Chains A and B, each alone.
Chain A
Amino acid sequence: MQLTLWTYEGPPHIGAMRVATAMRGLHYVLHAPQGDTYADLLFTMIERRDARPPVTYTTFQARDLGADTAEIFKTACAEAYDRFRPEAMIVGASCTAELIQDDPGGLARALGLPIPVIPLELPAYQKKENWGASETFYRLVRALSGPAPAAGAPRRGAEGRRPLCNILGPTALGFRHRDDVTEITGLLGRLGIGVNVVAPLGASPADLARLGAADFNVVLYPEIARAAAQHLQRTFGQPMVETVPIGFSATTRFVEEVAALACVDPAPVLDEHGSRLPWYTRSVDSTYLTGKRVFIFGDATHALAAARVARSELGFAVVGLGTYTREFAREVRTEAALHGVEALITDDYLDVEAAIQAANPELVLGTQMERHVAKRLGLPCAVISAPVHVQDFPARTSPQMGFEGANVLFDTLVHPLMMGLEEHLLGMFHEDREFHDGAAPSHLGPRARVPEPVNTVTVAAPAAGISWAAEAEKELRKIPFFVRGKARANTERFARERDLALITIETLYDAKAHFGR
């Protein structure tokens, strides 16, 4: 058993729902107890969809357990087909139905429906939402994309027509998937590359049957589409581009890679990229961003991208990097090493909370959950990854990917920080009644910045055996709040390493000289 306050991912059947809801003409019959229909409102409320998800739940109850739950499933399946007439169907079990072992796949097959029925095996007690989405998409692609072309058959190449690719990975309830697809489709269009199929988002089962017609695949979200793209690579020999175009440099790299695959010239697009990030981040107003300490957590794709953007495109210092996506732990560890930190691979909210507290960042980039932590610790925070809430499915266009995505990222990452002049003045004058340490950045309103007492997290006892002289403590308070935690930790470490029992003003400045800022 695992004690869970907040969970980063839902169970795997939510991932399957995300794929089914993203598509058209596909229906999902889910063997699940009454109550599991709560998942509908993720789509109708958080993503504000205007139709029910294409999901029929059996919603069995306790009184049904004595009777024939398998019969309930068959009835639900038959009725769903009659009512919705989908092109294809997926069937599966939620966590409770997994325990009663009714075999949805076998039961659905016995109905002999005249459409493809794809059974899903999603182990709810081992796997989670993204795995569920990936597995579902892979099963669908495997079942519907058709067999490999016969040996010796000519590949449907690009002769006489413009190069074509598939865009794989965007789903329902994906963080900014809607606008990422628009942005990347536009980018490919400017390169002269056509989009054959976008899937799962907006695709029908018939569209999946056309996947083989593309020249290559663009995997926008490896968590969801890597398995399917690998299958297509094996089956149709379609190469895949897995560079995720989040950030200016990554987008540039992405453009070069797809251009190479499609044999087109990337230069016109790269010359006229239209991104303001390179200039904004070089303008002198951004100088004060240099070396801002940032902690990053999210799904692997977004965490990796954010780390690169934070360091090389905004000049931040990455002091923490982690992900809840265990499948991509290796990539995240490698990236973390480049920043000189140890990657945090966990889905335990309490571990993340402790790591953020220990790293003393000035900015947290994370998910909805990191907003809780940041709020408790009084730290600025921006959301870069799912899980997210309704405000991160905005009405305005706000991609993360491509050159416009880089513009969005610049604004998003800088916005929560105190602005330069305000920061300077706070460092110089400490007794202003309105602009003081306890006040939030003044453009963010009057929210108190005083952290709640942190009595619920176990932290290492602060420097046992070391005490602060009253004068030194007072001096410490003159250091701007956003680096004060780090200054305190550094000074105590400095004192501990030198066996000093009392920290004086001198010690504080000795430590400052020793460590730099």
Chain B
Amino acid sequence: MNAHAPLPPAPAEGCGVSVRQERGQRAVFCGLTGIVWLHRKIQDAFFLVVGSRTCAHLIQSAAGVMIFAEPRFATAIIDERDLAGLADMNEELDRVVSRLIERRPDIRLLFLVGSCPSEVIKLDLSRAASRLTRRLGPGVRVLNYSGSGIETTFTQGEDACLAALVPEMPREAPNAPPALLLVGALADVVEDQFLRLFADLGVGPVHVLPARRADALPPVGPNTTYLLAQPFLADTARALESRGATRLAAPFPLGVEGTTGWLKAAADAFLVPQARFSAVTAPGIARAEQALAPHRARLAGKRVFFFPDSQLEVPLARFLAREMGMAIAEVGTPYLHRAHLADELALLPAATRVVEGQSLDAQMDRARAARPDLTVCGLGLANPFEAEGLATKWSIELLFTPIQGYDQAGDLAELFARPLLRRARLEV
């Protein structure tokens, strides 16, 4: 996974940003957590984690309120019989999958999701997936990826899942016209907005990965250019490139500047005249500016400190600094893909401190010393920091809220303004 990915040779230069690496205790989610949104995005897919009770407990705790609906995920819990070799793990897995398919005949795509225990005992889920595909095909396809904590951090689970889908994408026709592929799970409403904008620009055909249904995977090939909608898709990008697709370098579509830069990258690749680009984007930009203004009043001049969580931290810091006038105390990120984030790093204010990785207690000490006006951190830290008097924005919400594009720019700013507004409002 990303941890093993060779870093691109030339890190972003000239941006005046200091990037430091830190190691130690990490308070982050594992990649299994991605299931929480992926199972809603891909409507006919089911996610079967092969792991321990801890894995089952994690997803059910993370799934929070969703747990009243019948979810499309479950855990095959490895027990002592499996470990002692009293039961053949592959037979056991086949049995569990059969019971599952019986219960959920609507499943078309089954992901076997690797976990720390299954990785450590080296259970070969890719062989199991191809064996089960042979047995259950053509009605059900079985794929595998790893969402283990030892290999993936939070959003990298989505990366691993999408990367597993890439080999399944149909081959683009040899004489296919240039096509654009948007990569990364977006809220349906955001996806629809972007598709409308690209249609107005005359860019097309445009496909999305992941598609809403597993049997509607878009084609890919040398005539495909792709735009990453999320910053955490290193493996997916590599897999797409191995199928001949080309990445369009761009900032990420957060805020006005990011969204314009992101759309512009595609517009340029598809030779859209500047006049048309301006005409199509102008209404969105105007609406976004209008929506951002009231939040800017609350956020400008405030200092923000990011703990590492999702890899969204760098683009979010860029947005808050450049469009909301905030000062950046520190940007923590679990991994920094220097090539994919080159445009973002270039836009960060000079001398911004970016920290890749984490040593939890040391970072908490730095946050306490910096006394930022807003601390962006996970739910394990948020209430303890609040009790110490630091205002926090819990970071997971940034994955569970539509935040990309012009028409969500105001909502994005509001997410950061809300804790400050609330503090100002409460009299107890």
| Chain A interface residues (CB < 8 Å from chain B) | 1-7, 9-11, 13-14, 33-38, 40-42, 44-45, 48-52, 56-65, 76, 79, 83, 94-96, 99-100, 123-126, 128, 350, 368, 371-372, 375-376, 389, 456-458
Contacts and interface: CB of A to CB of B under 8 A. Distances in A.
B120 A61 contact: no
A60 B150 contact: yes
A52 B380 CA distance: 7
A153 B384 CA distance: 47
**Most chain B CB neighbours (cut-off 10 Å) among A36, A95, A371, A389:** A95
Contacts of B100: 3
Given A34-B26, A36-B149, A96-B150, A376 B57 contact: no
A236 to B, nearest CB: 35
Interface string B30-57: 1111000000000000000010111011
A66 to B, nearest CB: 11
Nearest to A58: B25
Contacts of A10: 53-54, 57
Given A62-B150, A95-B52, A6 B58 contact: no
A3 to B, nearest CB: 5
Nearest to A9: B53
B74 A99 contact: no
Contacts of B383: 44-45, 48-50
24 contacts: A2-B79, A3-B76, A33-B116, A33-B149, A35-B149, A37-B26, A38-B30, A38-B33, A38-B61, A38-B380, A44-B381, A49-B384, A50-B384, A51-B384, A58-B25, A61-B149, A65-B120, A95-B54, A95-B117, A96-B149, A100-B120, A125-B80, A456-B103, A458-B103
Interface stretch (B87-95, B177-185, B256-264): B87-95
Contacts of A126: 79-80
Contacts of B384: 44, 49-52
Contact of B58 (A1, A38, A48): A38
A34 B150 contact: yes
Contact of A34 (B76, B99, B153): B153
A279 B161 CA distance: 59
Contacts of B1: 62
B83 interface: yes
A124 B53 contact: yes
Contacts of A376: 70
B62 interface: yes
Interface in B227-260: none
Given A50-B383, A63-B3, A11 B60 contact: no
Interface of B: 1, 3-4, 25-33, 50, 52-54, 56-58, 60-62, 64, 67-68, 70-71, 74-80, 82-83, 87, 89, 92-93, 95-96, 99-100, 102-104, 116-117, 119-121, 148-151, 153, 361, 378-384, 386-387
Given A10-B57, A63-B3, A1 B361 contact: no
A3 B116 contact: no
Given A36-B58, A45-B383, 20 more contacts: A3-B96, A6-B60, A35-B153, A37-B25, A37-B26, A37-B380, A38-B58, A40-B379, A40-B380, A56-B25, A57-B25, A59-B27, A61-B149, A62-B1, A62-B119, A62-B150, A96-B54, A124-B52, A125-B83, A372-B67
Nearest to B52: A95
B205 to A, nearest CB: 37
Given A61-B151, A62-B150, A1 B56 contact: no
A56 B361 CA distance: 9
Contacts of A35: 28-32, 58, 116, 148-149, 153
B56 to A, nearest CB: 5
Given A10-B57, A44-B380, A95-B53, A1 B67 contact: no
Contacts of A3: 74-76, 96, 99-100
B56 A7 contact: yes
A49 B382 CA distance: 10
B113 to A, nearest CB: 13
Nearest to B334: A34
A4 B58 CA distance: 13
Contacts of A58: 25
Contacts of B378: 41
Contact of A11 (B27, B54, B82, B102): B54
A14 B57 contact: yes
Contacts, number: 189
Nearest to B115: A96
A493 B56 CA distance: 39
A50 B387 contact: yes
Nearest to B80: A125
B63 to A, nearest CB: 10
A89 to B, nearest CB: 16
A76 B360 CA distance: 11
Top 6 A-B pairs ranked by shortest CB distance?
A35-B149, A35-B30, A40-B380, A50-B387, A96-B116, A95-B52
A308 to B, nearest CB: 29
A327 to B, nearest CB: 16
B28 A34 contact: yes
Nearest to A390: B64
A1 B4 contact: no
Contacts of A56: 25
B27 A37 contact: yes
B235 to A, nearest CB: 14
Nearest to B116: A96
B382 A40 contact: no
B69 to A, nearest CB: 8
Nearest to B70: A456
Given A1-B76, A1-B95, A44 B54 contact: no
A41 B93 CA distance: 31
A315 B45 CA distance: 46
Given A52-B381, A61-B151, A376-B70, A4 B29 contact: no
Given A1-B78, A51-B387, A62 B4 contact: yes
A108 to B, nearest CB: 16
B32 A96 contact: no
Contacts of A36: 30, 54, 58, 149
A4 B149 CA distance: 20
Contacts of A100: 120
Contacts of A60: 150
B83 A33 contact: no
Contacts of B67: 6, 368, 372, 389
B32 to A, nearest CB: 7
A388 to B, nearest CB: 12
A62 B89 CA distance: 22
Nearest to A124: B52
A97 to B, nearest CB: 9
Contact of B53 (A5, A7, A42, A62): A7
| Interface-centre pick from A7, A58, A456 (highest chain B CB count, 10 A) | A7
Contact of B77 (A2, A42, A96, A456): A2
A376 B57 CA distance: 22
B26 A59 contact: yes
A40 B62 CA distance: 12
A3 B104 CA distance: 13
A31 to B, nearest CB: 12
Contacts of B77: 1-2, 4, 7
Contacts of B93: 1
B150 to A, nearest CB: 4
A174 to B, nearest CB: 16
Contacts of B380: 37-38, 40-41, 44, 52
A4 B28 contact: no
Contacts of A350: 103
B53 A11 contact: yes
B74 A4 contact: yes
A131 B79 CA distance: 16
A146 B10 CA distance: 62
Nearest to B386: A50
Contacts of A59: 25-27, 149
Nearest to A63: B3
